[in-house]
Amino acid sequence: MFAGEPTWPPLLQPNTDGDLTPRDAMNKVTIQTLQKLKLERQKFAVVAAYDASFSTLLAEAGVDVILVGDSLGMTVQGHNTTVPVTIDDVCYHTHAVKRGNDTSLIIGDLPFMTYSSPQDALLNSTKLMQAGAHMVKLEGGRWLAEAIKALSDCGIPVCAHLGLTPQSVNKLGGYKVQGRDADSAQAMIEDAMALEAAGADLMVLECVPSVLAKRISEQLSIPVIGIGAGSDTDAQVLVIYDMLGISTKSPKFSKNYLQYNPSIPAALADYVDEVKRGAFPSLEHSFE
């Protein structure tokens, strides 16, 4: 060995940026991975899932991000809304998803009223991160800026969520498309900019008109994940039970991929391929 040549510990090796990265983490999706994809205008695939078995299949299919969503309250627990879901519920399912997957980035949902103050947000986000999440997600507009800044300052990555926010279904009067008039669209744009400025690393837009989602995606520097938000966002997310036709009633913006494929792995691979090519969602699965 030449004099002065560094010797790396067995489990570490320098990557192309000169950083030390554990060998078993070289293929893991990180926030930086997603930011790079946005800069290169490459789309990525997200799926909401809740257990180790599906988590493993999603990793094998090349799904970049798994969301352990509070949607489990409706898909797994049988509730009519996500409101009854607790932080312990999401932690339990996050543990399971983490055990089945070593490559995808895992986002844990903060349930109803677990982030009503910065202190609550820090306490409950800590539980999710310790359960295996790499990032937390919370629903709401610029009123969350203080909590997001507190989380970001403490090293906890944040995914914001605008548009249809299911935890507010009782306030919204049902599951309705948001941002259809000029005033509410402008307010959503301003909310998005404020949350990014506060430190949000990702943004979910749910059930908003395609043209509004496109505008927000172009104005934000962070990646934007759409669900019922058209094809011009940086990524797409679907609930695994919806995309496999297991749900008793799937939303308009979803697509049953198992209907067109011979197996679950093939259906998941087809979804990833269509998202990355921009083939999904079509107008049929969007709101204009």
Range 7-16 average pLDDT: 48
Q: What confidence tens digit (pLDDT) does each residue in 66-112 have?
A: 999 999 999 999 999 999 999 999 999 999 999 999 999 999 999 99
Q: How many CB atoms lie within 10 A of CB 194?
A: 17
Q: What is the band of 187 on the pLDDT scale with cuts at 50, 70, 90?
A: very high
Instruction: Consult the annotation and say whether 214 binds a ligand.
Output: no
**Catalytic option among 40, 190, 206, 218:** 206
- Which residues lie across from 22 on neighbouring strands? 12
Looking at per-residue pLDDT, the higher value among 130 and 24 belongs to 130
pLDDT at residue number 5: 47
Helix (H, G, I), strand (E, B) or coil at 10: coil
Pure H helices in the chain: 31-39, 52-61, 72-75, 87-99, 118-131, 145-153, 169-172, 182-198, 210-219, 240-243, 264-277
Distances (CA, A) of 9 to 4, 6, 25, 141, 263: 16, 10, 15, 45, 43
User: Residues, the chain, total?
Assistant: 288
Instruction: Consult the annotation and say whether 71 binds a ligand.
Output: yes
Q: What is the band of 26 on the pLDDT scale with cuts at 50, 70, 90?
A: low
Q: What is the value of pTM for the model shown?
A: 0.91
Instruction: Consult the annotation and say whether 137 binds a ligand.
Output: yes
Domains for the chain: give ranges and CATH numbers: 42-285 (3.20.20.60)
* pLDDT surpasses 50 at 202: yes
Helix (H, G, I), strand (E, B) or coil at 258: helix
Residue 206 designated active-site:
yes
Distance of CA 249 to the CA centre of its chain: 22
Backbone angles phi, psi at 199, to 5 degrees: 125, 5
Instruction: Consult the annotation and say whether 242 binds a ligand.
Output: no
Q: What confidence tens digit (pLDDT) does each residue in 265-281 have?
A: 999 999 999 999 999 99
Q: What confidence tens digit (pLDDT) does each residue in 232-242 have?
A: 999 999 999 99
Residue 83 corresponds to which tokens in the numbers above? 């409101």
Residue 101 corresponds to which tokens in the numbers above? 């997957």
* pLDDT surpasses 90 at 120: yes
